[in-house]
């Protein structure tokens, strides 16, 4: 959805998502985000700065956003990094998304860093390029939101490797030469994802956006 619940710290009324197994060793640097957000809000409240080059889309109103987070829901609903391709497709289908939309959403890894868990020689190559604190998914354009994820799909993560399998290969092939197709489909897939409300969370309240 749009509520960024993974950013919420544990509170007296709930245990948040930061320690969920699917997020293990994935979501990091929250204190940096908190610091940047605080400084931005004090300097230019309610303003947005876009520098990475990613897509823009109009967020639909009238949907329900949560005001809390749930460790249990994160463990049950988030896809894990060791899932097979079939398990990934099923997990995304359970939230109303197709294999093609899964392939588009996977391209969001075009920025950020992650420890590699496949192809040891590839890891050595990346670390030699001074990404010792965490291996960048794409060393060519690590701070640009583009389609190089699909051009460089060598399987930094096991789930990336499976993303290059036959079920999602047509989408990856289409996005590799044409960034505009990737950005268009990513925006559409994010909108589709924001419409889904977990059956487990329908009774958790929240607020109408």
CB 188 within 8 A of CB 112: no
Q: Check whether 1 is labelled as a binding-site residue.
A: yes
- pLDDT tens profile 111-135: 766 555 555 555 555 555 544 445 5
Q: Check whether 146 is labelled as a binding-site residue.
A: yes
Residue 194: pLDDT band by 50, 70, 90 thresholds? confident
Q: Check whether 142 is labelled as a binding-site residue.
A: no
Q: Check whether 41 is labelled as a binding-site residue.
A: no
Q: Check whether 160 is labelled as a binding-site residue.
A: no
Helix (H) or strand (E) holding 64: strand 64-65
Provide the token pair at 120. 């040891």
pTM reported for the whole predicted model: 0.72
Q: Check whether 3 is labelled as a binding-site residue.
A: yes
Q: Check whether 110 is labelled as a binding-site residue.
A: yes
Q: Check whether 79 is labelled as a binding-site residue.
A: yes
Q: For the chain, which residues make up each domain, given as ranges?
A: 5-208
Give CA–CA dist 208/39, Å, rounded.
27
Task: Look at domain 5-208 and name its CATH class.
Answer: mainly alpha
Dihedral angle sign, alpha carbons of residues 80, 83, 88, 90: negative
Residue 157: pLDDT band by 50, 70, 90 thresholds? very low
């Amino acid at each position: 959805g749009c509520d960024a619940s993974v950013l919420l710290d544990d509170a007296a009324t709930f245990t948040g998502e930061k320690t969920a197994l699917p997020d293990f060793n994935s979501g990091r640097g929250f204190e940096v985000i908190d610091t940047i957000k605080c400084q931005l809000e004090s300097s230019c409240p309610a303003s947005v700065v876009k520098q990475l080059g990613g897509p823009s889309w109009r967020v639909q109103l009238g949907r329900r956003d949560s005001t809390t987070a749930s460790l249990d829901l994160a463990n049950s609903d988030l896809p894990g990094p060791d899932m097979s391709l079939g398990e990934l497709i099923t997990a995304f289908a359970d939230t109303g998304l197709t294999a093609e939309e899964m392939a588009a959403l996977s391209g969001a890894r075009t920025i950020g860093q992650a420890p590699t868990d496949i192809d040891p020689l590839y890891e050595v190559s990346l670390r030699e390029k001074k990404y010792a604190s965490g291996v960048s998914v794409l060393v060519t354009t690590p701070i640009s939101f583009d389609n190089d994820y699909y051009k460089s799909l060598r399987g930094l993560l096991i789930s990336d490797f499976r993303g290059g399998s036959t079920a999602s290969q047509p989408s990856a092939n289409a996005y590799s030469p044409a960034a505009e197709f990737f950005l268009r489909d990513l925006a559409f897939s994010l909108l589709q994802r924001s419409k889904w409300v977990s059956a487990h969370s329908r009774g958790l309240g929240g607020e109408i956006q």
